[in-house]
Structure 1
Amino acid sequence: MYTDTEKIFAYISLFMLFFTTLSEWVYSIGKSKKLERNFSHKSMVIAFACTTALMITRWIDSKHLPLSNLYESLIFISWSSSLIYFILALKDRDGWSSTVTASGATLIHGFATSGLPGGMERQTRLIPALQSHWLVMHVSMMSLSYATLLRGSLLAVSLSIIYSSSKKECSVLAFNRNTIHLISTWCIAQDFFKTIGTKNDTVKESFFQLFLNLGKYQLVNRMDQWIYQMISLGFSLLTIGILSGAVWANEAWGSYWSWDPKETWALVTRLIYATYIHARMANGWRGQVPAAIASIGFLLVWIRFLGVNLLGIGLHNYGWLV
């Protein structure tokens, strides 16, 4: 069953997420007034409220947590992404992390609402093996880990693009703390520039580029830290989800681990993110290489979540396209 009320909540959420994403892009690229940012925050509040209402409605109707099929899982990930948006918005001065998060939430919600084959949004009865208290722990932890890891990996993809676009410049790759001391000379140079007029435009341009480089350096550092925090949180949630799933599998099927396709890809995904975290913690790596590793995780999460599901393989599939 897919009621008109649920459909209204779903489409209002989608439209509000779209407006949020559009406003965030305008704010991030144009650096305009706070009007766009305030509008995006209010739109996201409406989207979050409608998505929450949609999930509660389905929970009441089905008498279980609405995570029993692909549609409900996608909606939950979209809802989790909206929650992450509010957390990031508190510390995001440039707007880029909020922009990436809002864009991801919009695409996921749009795919759930308009991209799935007909009938997949209908509520389904849980089979006896799934009627367990482990449903809430395992599925919610896995879905939250997807949302968190996808946000971190999307930021890593964005960071990789910044690095790639900066290869031909001094840019962030060569910027260091000693360069920051040069910025103090700008204040002293102001009076000097007023005196020399336009005869030394090259010097002025050099200082201008230095400031641009400083801004990019600060943005990259913030994004690198956000990526590390998001992936660390997502990695912990993924670990809890895998362990709780193993216990549940033993209760339902008599085996903690059966090398089901989803189990296998979950292990591969965890190993990739473990490599990223190890590189950051043990080796102190920052920059392009860790960002590239985290970007690979983005693909693996989608293979694990959608690729296996939509082919109808294994015990964890929600449906198929073929």
Structure 2
Amino acid sequence: MIFTISEQVLAHASFFSLFFATFIYWGRFIHINNKTLNISGKIGMIIAYFCITGFLLTRWISSKHFPLSNLYESSMFLSWSLTLIHLILENRSRNNWLGIITAPSAMFAHGFATLGIPKEMQESLYLVPALQSHWLMMHVTTMILSYATLLCGSLSAIALLIITATKRENFPTMNYINLLFGLWIFKDYFELLKSNVHESRKVSSFTNFRKWQLIQELDNWSYRIISFGFPLLTIGILSGAVWANESWGSYWNWDPKETWALITWLIFAIYLHTRMIRGWHSKESAIIASLGFFIIWICYLGVNLLARGLHSYGWIFLK
């Protein structure tokens, strides 16, 4: 009973911390130079990280196995991984835009776990014989960490494509994005636009330069993050193959989960190949990374919820 209450308190506290951090980071679009907002957003992510860590530890103690045995626990671990990646990258890069990507990602993963999954699937159950293995922690942990890392890199690539698209004048709807970007760059953007033509041109030139600078930053960090996540994905697939051989007598069974994991690996292998061998940068490589974003969600959720297989634990086919 105590463990159950503790889990609920920690889960709710971490979700509201992530919601608060997301609100703060997106609020910095307007007040980018506000130091109070910068500190508040970071504190919100730190609180969320420790609350989710406490939740996972409590779950581990109460269930007596590592909390990665079902979709609920893996989604919470995905949210924890995203907050961890955020704290590491924010400390290393000290940039102002990272939380715009990582905070809502962690919040949505957490929200799906707590609000989207039926209550009966959130309960901790005894492990089936196939999961009673030391490979559970090795394989699933590595896979979820690779998903979180690759998602951050892919979202950076998507942001790059959005900013690049704002330069194209044949998209009138992009004016709203340009306005938001202008607000992000200048706190007094409206006042500068009301000034003379010369000042307006200076604003436009600086905005274009800042866009180019941000595109370079996003491209660089997307590549670096994906370069870190790809080896994790490789290790996760190889450890899963060894575990499958122990449990089912075969390294590879062409299970839907395995097939889509291979597709995910191939997509990001192509991304890295085109970057390192072909010399692709910015928009060209970002398109491949953006495709990887959707492939990851198919591999992580779509297969589990819709397909029948050795890895399926969704509720759609159970009804």
Per-residue Cα deviation, 1:182-214 (whole angstroms, up to 9, x for no partner):
xxxxxxxxxxxxxxxxxx954444333222222
SS in 2 for 1:317: coil
**Percent of residue pairs identical:** 52
TM-fit CA distance, 1:44: 1.2
TM-fit CA distance, 1:118: 2.5
CA distance in 2, matches of 1:238, 1:277: 13
> 8 Å contact 1:145–1:238 — kept in the other structure?
yes
Match in the other structure for 2:247: 252
TM-fit CA distance, 1:42: 1.0
Match in the other structure for 1:232: 227
SS in 2 for 1:310: helix
SS in 1 for 2:29: helix
CA distance in 1, matches of 2:269, 2:168: 28
TM-fit CA distance, 1:88: 2.2
CA distance in 1, matches of 2:212, 2:231: 29
> 8 Å contact 2:256–2:307 — kept in the other structure?
no
Per-residue Cα deviation, 1:135-164 (whole angstroms, up to 9, x for no partner):
111010001011111111111111111111
Q: What letter is aligned with 1:307?
A: G
> 8 Å contact 1:156–1:291 — kept in the other structure?
yes
Would you say 1:211 and 2:212 are equivalent positions? Answer: no
CA distance in 2, matches of 1:72, 1:81: 14
Q: What letter is aligned with 2:201?
A: S
Task: Spell out the pairing of 1:12-161 with structure 2 (5 A cutoff).
Answer: 12-92=13-93, 94-161=95-162
SS in 2 for 1:168: coil
SS in 1 for 2:312: coil
Match in the other structure for 1:279: 274
Q: CA RMSD in A?
A: 1.8
> 8 Å contact 1:26–1:32 — kept in the other structure?
no
Gaps of 5+ in 2: 171-194
TM-fit CA distance, 1:234: 1.1
CA distance in 2, matches of 1:59, 1:240: 24
CA distance in 2, matches of 1:61, 1:42: 28
Runs of 4+ residues deviating >6 angstroms:
none
TM-score (norm 1): 0.87
Gaps of 5+ in 1: 170-199
Q: What letter is aligned with 1:308?
A: V
Per-residue Cα deviation, 1:41-80 (whole angstroms, up to 9, x for no partner):
1111111111000000010111111000000000001000
Q: Whose radius of gyration is greater, 1 or 2?
A: 1
> 8 Å contact 1:28–1:96 — kept in the other structure?
no
CA distance in 1, matches of 2:122, 2:33: 39
**Structure-2 change in CA distance of 1:92 and 1:34 (3 Å):** farther
TM-score (norm 2): 0.87
